[in-house]
Amino acid sequence: MNAIAPVGRSLAPFEARLDGIADPVRHAAVGELRRVGLPGPRVEAWRYTHLRPLAGHEFREAAASFDADVVGCALDEVLPRDGLLASTPRLVLVNGRFAPELSSPANGVALPEGVMFERFLASPEFDALATPEREPLVALNTALATDGVRLSVAEGAAVGRIVLVSVAFAGEETVSFHPRHSVSLGTGASLELIEVAVSSGNNASAVTYFHNPVLTCSVGEGAKLTHVKVQKEAAGATHLATVYANIATRGAYDSFTLGLGADLARHEVHARLSGAKAAVHVNGAQLLGEKQVGDITSVITHAAPDCISRQTIRNVLTDHARGVFQGKVHVHQIAQKTDGYQMNQALLLSPHAEIDAKPELEIYADDVKCSHGATVGALDDEQLFYLRSRGVPEAQARRILVEAFLLEVLDLHEDEAGRALLDTALGAALSLRIGREQILEQTAGEASE
């Protein structure tokens, strides 16, 4: 049993599933977990993001069975049959398990030529990019992973888009799933990976589940991986994702994450620029309300000269929501002529909302250009007055300003299909968070005057 984990970081929610693991790699991960426990507020990287939602639960392994009609409706909602992604190859997981009957080529769309696909289940070795000895949630994933996808793109292949969808079908059980994914691009290859995490319609806010995915990305020389993620988990969910990216000479990893769902969510990126003239973009936005907590954390390591990193994060927080941004840029001595930039901006729409920002620079080279910044504010009263003076109802004016604030960072993603997915998800969340009913009621009231 976990007798040495500090109070507040107990492994009790997972203890029953950790006992008896014999595989050497998984057993080592369990040993590391027992040594350090789950991260608590005394761990610097987790001081703003507490794992309290996990306490008091025993997370069981999710059942392999699911209602195909319910899950199909969830897929149709996120990937409309008349949408730009309707003909895009897709890989679907339900409760962390690959669902071939919902994936390509079962849906009539074959994977592009130049892509090799295999299941993690069929090839259970773990990618060396991940560091479970340093990240406890990755250690937990290593111990409990049961499935996932592996994509390898051949040298020089430009394969377009692939959609990776995770659907939670938790029912009434308190479950957790820990998929393990990897993407590898050969020299000069390119891929756009569109990742979506969503719950099926049966998941009410009272249903609790835990989604703990790990994705490793290896970007070869001169290759480019574009990674778009939309997180729309159920209101009672916890979503803690970890991404590793290693970028070779002249390679690029360009990512954007949009955080909308879950009670507690964290998207953590560890990117290493290991070859000269490599580039990494870690951009994102969060729109949160009620008592949601959303955390975007990044650690970008410049380990080669002439590399570029960019991070732009925007948060809109209502009610008692709390946003977190932690961005660290670590520049090795060899990484001369580094160009690193961080910017975190937050819009607080409630006096009870909170943003915690912690940008960091750790620089050992002397020929660098690195900067970071953070801004926090409310809606501009003058802009609001301008719209109101031209007959725009107040709630609608607020939505216009909030949408403009977020669309500016969404403009950093240029692909038409990926951008359409982001716009659709954001539009639905804005209607929920900013108050579509208030807009309609106020518009009707003004029309009757």
pLDDT in tens, 153-186: 999 999 999 999 999 987 777 999 999 999 999 9
Do 313 and 343 contact (CB within 8 A), yes or no? yes
Over 90: is that where the pLDDT of 122 sits?
A: no
pLDDT of residue 81: 86
Closest CA to 203 of 159, 245, 233, 244: 233
CA distances from 240 to 53, 59, 185 (A): 12, 15, 25
* CA-atom Rg of the chain in angstroms: 22
- Looking at residue 440, its pLDDT comes to 43
**What band does 204 get if pLDDT is binned at 50, 70 and 90?**
low
Q: How confident is the model at residue 287 (pLDDT cuts 50, 70, 90)?
A: very high
Q: Which of 160, 258, 254, 266 is nearest to 211 (CA)?
A: 266
- pLDDT above 50 (res 222): yes
Contact between 302 and 289 (Cβ < 8 Å):
no
If DSSP codes are grouped into helix, strand and coil, which group holds residue 105?
coil
Task: Give the torsion through C-alpha atoms of 212, 95, 418, 341, to 10 deg.
Answer: 0
CA proximity to 15, closest of 146, 176, 138, 171: 176
Q: How confident is the model at residue 397 (pLDDT cuts 50, 70, 90)?
A: very high
- What was the pLDDT predicted at 436? 46
* Nearest-angstrom CA–CA distance, 260 and 306: 35
pLDDT over threshold 80, residue 235:
yes
Q: What is the mean pLDDT of residues 262-278?
A: 98
Q: Given this model, what pLDDT does residue 447 score?
A: 52
